[in-house]
């Protein structure tokens, strides 16, 4: 019995000690601004702060959301706010329109007076704000675990691209009120929802946590790997991978440059002023040029424990704000 306990203790000890951490050869000490207003909820296009303020990539929205309200998307036709119940709210200026959907809202966009939505049960459809009615609703395969960076539907010419929670996108014709096509992006049983969906001129860029795909008139290209983050810069696609690599690729996903930061675990990646910024979980901020030929690493006091989001050149995480322009 004693020998068994010793063996178990040894296995546990060596199992824990075998974990590797990113350790740069050189790093510079840096300090973040302290922020008492932390992130309570976030998705691909925004983060809800505990105060009710909202962060979007371009800056802050003074929405003053009520307790339990969650920011989903900001569009030219209004702002979409969800709750954990079936109630959602459309904010247009000073007016608030409360609606009830079949299930809780996870993603959506407004096109005129139509809300194109994705719900918690992986159903998707169109809700008419004028008639207060569902014009179209369908359901895809139910999924039980998702990455919280849920992407919102986007408009591409006269079609809407709807990202689902099971690794698919739906091409939807608003005029005909019907599905034109379903496209499978990734097959994986766990955390397989669409986490990135953007248009890069004539190319659609789509990613799940397990694959990134580009679709254009030149065909479909893909890289199958574990994806931490995706960022666009002009005609370039920067891909942050879970093994510590950062790739710079063109629209055909041909890799132009690559850099590996051994054992780095990226929590957020972005570009600003022609530089690449990657925040690592231990509190290291990796700064490099777009060709990865010059790198500088900064060490902040706090590790990343919770959500992180980039807004107007600032990285928000836990109770910290890193101003990238001051680095």
Q: How far is CA 140 from CA 94, 101, 144, 162, 300, in A?
A: 35, 17, 13, 12, 43
The DSSP code for 58 is T
Tell me what pLDDT residue 172 has.
Answer: 98
Rounded Cα gap, residues 174 and 172, in angstroms: 6
Q: Is it the case that residue 9 has pLDDT exceeding 90?
A: no
In contact, 313 and 53? CB cutoff 8 Å = no
- The confidence score (pLDDT) of residue 193 equals 97
Q: What is the pLDDT of residue 250?
A: 97
Asked if 267 and 281 touch (Cβ cutoff 8 Å), the reply is yes
Q: What is the mean pLDDT of residues 45-67?
A: 94
* Per-residue pLDDT tens digits for 181-208: 999 999 987 899 999 999 999 999 999 9
Stretch 293-316: mean pLDDT = 96
Cα-flanking dihedrals φ and ψ of residue 3, to 5°? -65, -40
Q: In 3D, which of 136, 132, 110 has the Cα closest to residue 123?
A: 136
* Per-residue pLDDT tens over the stretch 135-147: 999 999 888 899 9
CA distances from 278 to 123, 210, 219, 274, 309 (A): 34, 19, 30, 13, 12
- Taking the whole predicted model, whether its pTM rises above 0.85 is answered as yes
Place of tokens 């706090």: 302
CA separation for the pair 87, 117 (Å, rounded)? 13
H helix or E strand, kind and range, residue 309:
strand 308-311
CB 153, CB 160: distance < 8 Å: yes
Question: What is the C-alpha to C-alpha distance for residues 278 and 288, in angstroms, rounded to an integer?
Answer: 9
**Tens digit of each residue's pLDDT (9 = 90 or more) over 13-47:** 544 445 789 999 999 999 999 999 999 999 999 99
Which tops the pLDDT comparison, 96 or 13? 96
Mean pLDDT of all residues in the chain? 94
In this prediction, residue 11 carries a pLDDT of: 42
Coil, strand, or helix at residue 24? coil
71 beta partners: 81
* CA-only gyration radius of the chain, Å: 21
- Tell me what pLDDT residue 97 has: 97
Question: With pLDDT > 70 as the criterion, what percentage of the chain qualifies?
Answer: 94
Q: Which candidate, 211, 231, 294, places its Cα nearest to that of 259?
A: 294
pLDDT at 7 over 70: no
Cβ neighbours of 100 (radius 10 Å): 11
Residue-wise pLDDT for 239-261, tens only, equals: 999 999 999 999 999 999 999 99
Strands 70-75 and 123-128: unpaired
Mean pLDDT of 80-103: 97
> 276 has which bridge partners?
271, 288
pLDDT at 2: 55
- Both tokens of 246, joined, read 């950062």
């Amino acid at each position: 019995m004693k020998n068994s306990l010793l063996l178990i203790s040894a296995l546990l000890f060596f199992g824990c000690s075998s974990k590797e951490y990113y350790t740069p050869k050189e790093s510079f000490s840096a300090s973040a601004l302290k922020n008492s207003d932390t992130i309570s909820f976030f998705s691909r296009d925004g983060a809800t702060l505990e105060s009710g303020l909202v962060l979007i990539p371009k800056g802050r929205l003074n929405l003053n959301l009520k307790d339990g309200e969650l920011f989903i998307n900001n569009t030219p036709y209004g702002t979409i706010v969800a709750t954990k119940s079936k109630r959602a709210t459309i904010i247009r200026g000073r007016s608030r329109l409360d609606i009830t959907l079949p299930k809780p809202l996870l993603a959506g966009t407004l096109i005129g007076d139509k809300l194109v939505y994705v719900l918690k049960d992986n159903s998707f459809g169109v809700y008419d704000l004028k008639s207060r009615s569902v014009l179209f609703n369908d359901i895809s395969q139910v999924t039980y675990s998702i990455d919280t960076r849920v992407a919102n539907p986007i408009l591409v010419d006269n079609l809407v691209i709807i990202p689902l929670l099971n690794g698919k996108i739906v091409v939807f014709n608003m005029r005909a009120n019907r599905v034109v096509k379903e496209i499978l992006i990734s097959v994986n049983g766990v955390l397989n929802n669409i986490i990135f969906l953007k248009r890069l001129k004539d190319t659609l860029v789509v990613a799940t946590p397990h694959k990134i795909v580009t679709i254009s008139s030149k065909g479909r290209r893909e890289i199958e790997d574990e994806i931490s983050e995706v960022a666009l810069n002009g005609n370039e696609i920067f891909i942050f991978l879970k093994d510590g690599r950062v790739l710079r690729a063109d629209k055909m996903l041909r890799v132009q440059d690559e850099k590996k930061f051994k054992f780095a675990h990226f929590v957020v990646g972005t570009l600003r002023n022609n530089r690449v910024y990657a925040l690592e979980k231990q509190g290291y901020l990796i700064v490099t040029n777009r060709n990865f030929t010059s790198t500088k690493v900064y060490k902040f006091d706090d590790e990343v424990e919770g959500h992180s989001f980039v807004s107007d050149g600032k990285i928000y995480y836990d109770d910290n704000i890193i101003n990238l322009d001051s680095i």
